[in-house]
Structures are given as C-alpha cells and as structure tokens.
C-alpha cells in the first residue's frame, strides 16, 4: 500500500466504524492533514552503484535516519533512548543494534509468569501469559533488534497455539528463535525441523516409514526456504520420506528415531541417495532460491515492498558468500542506501505488535500489567503465538479494515490509566506531568511518538480539537489518542 493511500483507507474505515463513538470530527481532522515527508527537496540525491546498475537514491535527512532505524530495527523509543542512539551516529547505532549479545537485558522477564509444562491441561490462560510475557520483552528490552528478529522468525515459521495446544512447546520455540535470531540459517532450519511445536503444527511427529506425511516437506520449501517454483511434487514426496522418523520425547524435545526412518534411495531436487533430514536441509539452505527468498522477505520487513531485482541479487549474494549468516544479511540491509532512502520512509504499515509495543515503549509505560494491550493486539488482528496459518499474518493493507481500525483507535484510550482501569501500565498524566495545556504540550506528546517531527499544522489541529476539554489530564489522554490515530504514527 502506498503511504498516501493509507489516508484514504483509514478515513473511509473511520467513517464507518467510529461515527458517533468518540470525536469523529477530530479523527477526520488529524487524518486530513497532508502526509508530508521530511524536507527532502533540500537533500541532494546520491548516485549509488547498485550491483550491475547505477541509479540515484535520495537519502533521508539525518534528523530522520535514526528514528527510522529504531522503528524498523526495533520498536521506537522515548527521548532518552533516541538521544543515546543519536550520540552513536547512524553507523554506530546499527552496530549497537546488531551486536547485542553483550548488552545486559536482565530487566526483562526471562520466562512467562505462569509455570509451563509439556504435560497437563493447556488453556487460554497459558496463551495470554505467553503473549503478555513477549510484549513485556518488546517494551522493556535493551536489545530491540533481538525481539524484532524474533517477531520476524515467528511469522516466517508461523506456528499456532490453536493446534499445538501446549504453552511449553510454544515458549521453547520462541526461545530458540530468539537465541538464533541473527544466527546461521542452516542452524535455524535444522533446529526448527526438530522443534516440538513445529512437529505438532505440521504433523512431523506423525511422519513415519510406511506412512509418510507431506505437510512439513511441502512447507519447508514453499514457506521456509526456496518459496514456490524450484521444486516438484516428486520433490515433496521424496522430502517427506527423508524427514520420516521424528517424534517428541517426554520433555517436549524433538527426537529422531532411525527405526522409524525410511532409508530407501530417494531423489530430491536432483540429488539421489539415502537422504535424511540433514541432507535435505543442506540442499535447501544452499539453494539460490532460498537466498533470494530470504533476502526479499527480510528487505521488505525492514525497508519497503517490491524491491528491485538488482537490490535482491546483491543481498542474496551476501547470504551465500557469508555461509548463510542472517546477521550479515541484516547488516547489509540496514547499511544499504535503499534502507535510508526516501522510498523506505513510512513505506510500511505498523503491524499490531509494532503499533502497540512502539506506543508503550515510546511513552515509557510500565510492563507489569499489559493484559489490555494484549487483548487489543488480538482485536487489531495479531494474536502472538497464534498466527492464522502456516503463511503467517498479512502485511501492508492486510492490517487495515473497519474492525482493525476501530481497535487501533480504541487502543490509546483503553490502555491508559483511569479510575476504572488503574493498572494499565500507561499513565499519560504521570508521563507528561500536569498534562497538556497548549500546543507545546501536544508537541511534546508528538515528539515521543514520532520524534522525526510532525507538521505544525497537525499539531495545531490536535490542539484545537482538544482545547475544549477543561481537565488537563483528560486532554492529555485525548491528545495521545489523536497523535496515535495519525498516519505518521501508524506508518513505519
């Protein structure tokens, strides 16, 4: 979805969903202000050699580069965090985000608040506990790229509690993805093949010699590695035989039993032999289509949709030359001229996880009570640990419909502390002192949520829309809501 098209969609949805509910005129007003980019007309275009081509790429002004980086490689941040990264410079900020292993992160909960076990009854309370725990990590982490990459892999290897029905298996998978977030793709694919939750999700634990199940063999190509195209139905059948023999032990760990493995001669994507899981993984990880697929998916996650073929070819080669290093691939994306170009700026729509975590993180919310935020994310269309299918969640305009827009517009009001909701984790009055008194107060709120700087006419619209509210605290809460309803906040 083009960033300017977002205006039309949200306005149409707002007119349908929020009429008569709360301040439709104010919502229309903030969404009617023209969406403008930073003053790029003052920035000279730079000519970059991009693989076999040379083309002009207009870079973002420096004032926008680090806020853009923090939104894409993390979940935004408040003024203090922004100042810390700006002090590093763009290159230093990228290095700090990428090399997070030595950064103390003990302030976030290592495990969910609920005791998880592979055995026993699993209920919706377990799922909510997992979702709350992960949101706490997104909001409170000092390693934002680690959580952002965990979110990427969770969507890439989409696995749902709805079928797995075991919180311990879902937790272990999430922990594995976090531990290997920037690791080697060979290690990641190997680990996910034997992951307990994945074995249940795609029936790998039922794939036996004499009774093969093709679910994982198909999805490991179509979704997890090469993408559609380079394989045949014969490859799917051969892959299913090669993956036979996995089960889950009493601790919830995936185990391989040679007695249940089909040891016949198989031909998979041109290779013939007594192929097993490791052989199939070796073939897929090294396949050029996997390099292209991962480069495209990661670039679109961090930068913008539909990148040029020259860009993807260059990035795919980084993956192959580095021996399948995800860290090298992500570093190449974040330091590319395309990433800090005007084409990448506000080119994506925040997912519900990004929308929610960025607000709470930018406004300095506490993370002790986020149940309302978790429920709101589900209403927006993204229930963590429970993607709708093996293909994960939608992106772009898939996040925007009448129901999800209503949930987004309700979220800033629902999660803020009131007498009826005393433990929301977000107290705007506490964050902003005596509350909004004038346009300067609105500007302060906007700077927290969108530090690049929103136009003065938008600040004026929000100031005028809330000026009739006599109570400063209430006015502050409404100003937060209106800023979060603007395209500037909803776009990433």
Give tens-digit pLDDT for 438-454.
777 788 888 888 998 88
More confident residue, 107 or 367: 107
Give tens-digit pLDDT for 195-240.
999 999 999 999 999 999 999 999 999 999 999 999 999 999 999 9
* pLDDT tier, 417 (very low <50, low <70, confident <90, very high otherwise): low
- Give the domain range for residue 491: 26-32+428-492
To the nearest 5 percent, what fractions of the chain are helix, strand and coil?
55, 5, 40
Judge whether 190 and 225 are in contact, CB under 8 Å: no
Name the one residue in this structure whose structure tokens are 């634990």: 205
Judge whether 261 and 209 are in contact, CB under 8 Å: yes
472 in a domain, yes or no?
yes
68 in a domain, yes or no?
no
Q: Where is the domain boundary, 249, 271, 286?
A: 286
Q: Where is the domain boundary, 234, 266, 286?
A: 286
- Residues 122-141 have a mean pLDDT of 89
Q: How confident is the model at residue 422, as a pLDDT?
A: 44
Judge whether 349 and 397 are in contact, CB under 8 Å: yes
Please state, as a whole number, how many other Cβ atoms lie within 10 Å of the Cβ of residue 59. Answer: 21
Q: Hey, which of 163-167, 217-221, 431-435 has the most confident mean pLDDT?
A: 217-221
Q: How confident is the model at residue 31, as a pLDDT?
A: 63
Q: With the C-alpha atoms ordered 314, 315, 320, 323, is the resulting torsion angle positive or negative?
A: positive
Above pLDDT 90, what percent of the chain? 58
Predicted TM-score (pTM) of this structure:
0.91
Task: Tell me the C-alpha to C-alpha distance, in Å, between residue 199 and each of 154, 191, 214, 218.
Answer: 15, 11, 12, 14
Q: How many domains does the chain have?
A: 2
- Residues 101-112 have a mean pLDDT of 94
- Residues 129-145 have a mean pLDDT of 95
- Tokens representing residue 440 in the block: 């300067």
132 in a domain, yes or no?
yes
More confident residue, 409 or 6: 409
Q: Which of 244, 186, 190 lies closest to 215 in space, CA to CA?
A: 244
Q: How far apart are CA 165 and CA 446, in angstroms?
A: 41
- E strands of 87-185, at which residues? none
Give the DSSP H/E element, type plus range, for residue 219: helix 215-222
Q: How confident is the model at residue 249, as a pLDDT?
A: 94
Q: How far apart are CA 362 and CA 120, in angstroms?
A: 39
454 in a domain, yes or no?
yes
* pLDDT tier, 10 (very low <50, low <70, confident <90, very high otherwise): low
319 in a domain, yes or no?
no
Q: Hey, which of 25-29, 47-51, 52-56 has the most confident mean pLDDT?
A: 25-29
Q: How confident is the model at residue 40, as a pLDDT?
A: 46
- 44, pLDDT greater than 50: no
What are the two backbone dihedrals, phi and then psi, of residue 417, each rounded to the nearest 5 degrees?
Answer: -65, 130
269 in a domain, yes or no?
yes
Among 204-208, 301-305, 370-374, 382-386, name the one with the lowest average pLDDT: 370-374
- 39, pLDDT greater than 80: no
Q: How confident is the model at residue 141, as a pLDDT?
A: 96
Q: With the C-alpha atoms ordered 96, 101, 107, 110, is the resulting torsion angle positive or negative?
A: positive
Judge whether 216 and 245 are in contact, CB under 8 Å: no
Q: What residue spans of 266-370 are helical by DSSP H?
A: 277-286, 288-302, 309-321, 326-334, 352-362
445 in a domain, yes or no?
yes
Task: Tell me the C-alpha to C-alpha distance, in Å, between residue 308 and each of 40, 51, 198, 296, 298.
Answer: 22, 11, 33, 10, 14
Q: Where is the domain boundary, 261, 286, 311?
A: 286
Q: How far apart are CA 230 and CA 288, in angstroms?
A: 10
User: For 11-35, b where at least 16 C-beta lie within 10 A, e where not — what string?
Assistant: bebbeebbeeeebeebbebbbebeb
205 in a domain, yes or no?
yes
Q: How far apart are CA 27 and CA 25, in angstroms?
A: 5
């Amino acid at each position: 979805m083009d960033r300017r098209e977002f205006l039309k969609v949200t306005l149409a949805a707002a007119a349908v969903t929020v009429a008569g509910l709360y301040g439709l005129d104010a919502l229309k007003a903030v969404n009617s202000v023209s969406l403008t980019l930073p003053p790029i007309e003052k920035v000279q275009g730079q000519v970059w050699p991009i693989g076999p081509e040379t083309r002009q790429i207009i870079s973002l002004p420096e004032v926008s580069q680090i806020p853009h980086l923090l939104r894409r490689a993390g979940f935004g941040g408040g003024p203090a965090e922004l100042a810390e990264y700006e002090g590093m410079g763009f290159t230093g900020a990228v290095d700090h985000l990428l090399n997070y292993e030595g950064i103390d992160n003990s302030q976030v909960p290592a495990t969910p608040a609920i005791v998880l076990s592979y055995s026993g009854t699993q209920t919706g309370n377990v799922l909510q506990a997992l979702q709350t725990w992960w949101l706490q990590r997104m909001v409170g982490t000092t390693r934002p790229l680690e959580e952002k990459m965990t979110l990427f892999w969770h969507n890439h290897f989409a696995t749902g509690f709805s079928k797995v029905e075991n919180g311990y298996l879902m937790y272990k998978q999430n922990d594995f993805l976090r531990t290997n977030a920037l690791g080697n793709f060979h290690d990641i694919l190997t680990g996910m093949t034997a992951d307990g939750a994945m074995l249940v999700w795609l029936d790998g634990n039922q794939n036996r010699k004499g009774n093969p199940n093709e679910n994982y063999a198909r999805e490991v190509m179509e979704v997890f590695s090469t993408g559609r195209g380079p394989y045949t139905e014969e490859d799917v059948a051969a892959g299913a035989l090669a993956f036979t023999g996995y089960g889950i032990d009493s601790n919830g760990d995936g185990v391989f039993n040679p007695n249940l493995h089909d040891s016949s001669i198989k031909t998979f994507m041109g290779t013939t032999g007594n192929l097993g899981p490791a052989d199939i993984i070796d073939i897929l990880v090294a396949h050029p289509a996997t390099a292209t697929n991962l480069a495209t998916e990661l670039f679109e996650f961090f930068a913008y949709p539909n990148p040029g073929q020259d860009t993807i070819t260059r990035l795919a080669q980084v993956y192959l030359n580095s021996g399948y290093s995800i860290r090298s691939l992500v570093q190449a994306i974040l330091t590319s001229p395309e990433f800090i170009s005007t084409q990448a700026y506000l080119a994506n729509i925040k997912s519900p996880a990004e929308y929610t975590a960025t607000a709470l993180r930018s406004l300095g919310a506490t993370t002790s009570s986020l149940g309302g935020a978790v429920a709101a994310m589900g209403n927006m269309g993204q229930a963590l640990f429970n993607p709708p299918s093996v293909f994960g969640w939608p992106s772009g305009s898939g996040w925007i419909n009448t129901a999800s827009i209503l949930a987004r517009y309700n979220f800033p009001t629902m999660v803020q502390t009131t007498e009826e909701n005393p433990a929301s984790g977000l107290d705007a009055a506490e964050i902003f002192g005596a509350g909004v008194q004038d346009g300067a107060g609105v500007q302060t709120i906007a700077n927290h949520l969108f530090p690049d700087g929103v136009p003065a006419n938008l600040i004026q619209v929000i100031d005028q829309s809330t000026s009739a509210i006599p109570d400063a605290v209430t006015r502050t809460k409404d100003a937060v809501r209106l800023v979060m309803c603007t395209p500037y906040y909803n776009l990433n």
